[in-house]
A and B are shown apart, each in its own frame.
Chain A
Amino acid sequence: MTAMLGLNQHGGGRPLRSRPPAGLGWVGQPRLLRGIASRDLTSYAEHLGEHGPRPTLTREALLAQLDAVALAGRGGAGFSLAAKIRSLRSGPDARPVVVVNGCEGEPASAKDAALLTRVPHLVLDGALAAAAALYPDAAVYPDAALDAGRALDPGRVLIAVSSPSVAAAVQRAVAARPDSPRFQTHLLPERYITGEARALISALNGGAATPPGRRVLPSESGVGGQPTLLSNAETFAQLAYLTRVGPAGFAEVGTRREPGTTLLTVSGAVARPGVMEVALGTPLSAVAEAVGAEPARAVVIGGYHGGWLSEQTLRSGPVPISRAGLGAVGATLGAGAVMFLGVDTCALGELTRVAQWLADQSAKNCGPCAFGLPALVQDLLALNGGSAGPAGPAGAAGPVGPVGSAGLAALDRHARMVAGRGACSHPDGAVRFLSSGLAALADEVRDHQAHGGCGRPVQGDLPL
């Protein structure tokens, strides 16, 4: 990898897994994925043929467009991109840095890899539009003035990825562009935590790809101590689409408060797993139909820091894929990973496998996360087997046996000792995922407590 020209590799980038190429699809009309069936959009000419030239907007014009469609980040937090740009520290010394976060460490998410390998120029255009808006005097820093070895030249865009194959695809795309000196690709260690904003910035600054202990805002002091606009790859692709069609065109689909489309990565008990582009507000049932989902025992949405939708929630009415629609049923859109659990799998076992993965992904820099997540895994293993001791009265109404209750109490106690106690949100996200799962699987948990299991094998519907 190190022989790859111009690639900045950080740390030991050993891949954790091989991810099969995801299928690409859509419900309704594709936008980011438009033209993908008929053109090779990794070609810059084909990209321009499909989407037209990239408009250059001033900071004010860009912010007005972002405000008009309330464009929210697509990396998980769903934070307003306009607010993120406005929060960048200004002043005579401030030279804002634009970073594309393409580190997709979540096994259930493949949408950023799909964008960066299949429609890379849309992402690069969006990042460049942001950089140009932040440097109204971009002409002062023409391409020729950029120093290849210096990342922080004004108007430069850094692309951070954690998969060697995605890095190679990005480099090929960059090399195909006339404005290639604007971009610098960085390959970071392939771990879940690398994608966390402050961990990523620490890695770009030559440090470990782990979050620092002190709370520093990237908008104040990010790459090279400069105010840093760090956003997810899809966010920049959406931005590129917005600058071409304008707010009215952008808002032709989606909901009134959340216009546009979003990318989902759909997996689990489905016939056609892959990356799907859907208008915000599309009902989950339409996604299920499009991917050929089996009747679901539960759905995990928003990835492994996200939440579970119970069978009851799925039956009680349509669930719109939007931040508001998912918020109404106690879930989050996150980075758009959607996993269908089949009726033939042991869902508690699936949850426990993911809990083990979440514990393994801890950077182990913070004690409560390093020790607490493994303790939660042990609690869950005990619960899977109906707890480590004799089970309570099988099938009895009312409280399960004393050992079973103790199992849930231990989980509860440990969860409270983990949530909110770390340098990053990994322990919080992990506890949110586990709590939500145990609530959605209350019936199955009772089966395990009463009978020492549910009789179903773990099918691996939650990808790891």
Chain B
Amino acid sequence: MRTATSHEAAAVGAGSLRIDWTRCDGHGHCAALLPRAITLDDWGYPMIDAAAVGDEHLSDVKRAVSACPSLALRLER
């Protein structure tokens, strides 16, 4: 049993893609919109693959952020 990657944040553009865990209800829209960068865990909560998100995805990331019904997915400065 290991403690590995945190699946928590990814640098995009000048910001950082983060999840506010207190808000996230696991709707899963982010994983549908960013299938390469975000997968869902066993309970439907997003896991961010930081290596799969880059500046070139900025517009897709912004779309996913604005699609989050819980306002949990954020692009923080």
Contact = CB atoms under 8 A, between A and B. Distances in A.
Interface in B41-60: 41-45, 47
B22 A213 contact: yes
B36 interface: no
B4 A416 contact: yes
B63 interface: no
Nearest to B6: A420
Interface stretch (A114-122, A273-281, A295-303, A366-374): A366-374
A366 B20 CA distance: 9
Given A417-B43, A428-B3, 14 more contacts: A366-B22, A372-B41, A372-B43, A375-B42, A411-B1, A412-B2, A414-B42, A419-B3, A421-B6, A421-B45, A421-B47, A422-B21, A435-B1, A438-B1
Contact of A368 (B1, B23, B41): B41
A contact patch SS: helix
A303 B21 CA distance: 25
Contacts of A414: 42
Given A419-B6, A439-B1, A365 B22 contact: yes
A157 to B, nearest CB: 29
Interface in B3-41: 3-8, 19-26, 41
A203 to B, nearest CB: 15
Contacts of A416: 2-5
A27 interface: no
Interface residues of B, number: 23
A417 B23 CA distance: 18
Contact of B3 (A366, A422, A431): A431
A103 B71 CA distance: 32
A315 interface: no
A368 B21 contact: yes
Nearest to A374: B43
A434 B22 contact: no
A431 B4 CA distance: 10
A214 B47 CA distance: 18
Interface residues of A, number: 32
Given A368-B43, A371-B43, A408 B1 contact: yes
B50 to A, nearest CB: 12
Nearest to B23: A213
A329 interface: no
Contacts of A419: 3-4, 6
Interface in A199-249: 210-214
10 contacts: A213-B22, A365-B21, A367-B45, A372-B41, A411-B1, A415-B3, A421-B6, A423-B22, A432-B3, A434-B1
A338 B45 CA distance: 35
A212 B21 CA distance: 9
A420 B44 contact: no
Given A416-B2, A416-B3, A420-B6, A213 B47 contact: no
B3 A213 contact: no
Contacts of A417: 7, 41-43, 47
Contacts of B44: 367
Contacts of A434: 1
B24 A420 contact: no
B7 A420 contact: yes
Name the residue in A368, A375, A422, A432 with the highest tally of chain B Cβ atoms < 10 Å from its Cβ: A368
Interface string A398-426: 00000000001001101111011111000
Nearest to B48: A421
A421 B5 contact: no
Contacts of B24: 366-367
Contacts of A366: 21-22, 24
Q: Which of B8, B22, B25, B26 gathers the greatest number of chain A CB atoms within 10 Å?
A: B22
Contacts of A368: 21, 41, 43, 45
Contacts of B22: 210-213, 365-366, 423
A180 B47 CA distance: 50
Contacts of A420: 3, 5-8
A384 to B, nearest CB: 15
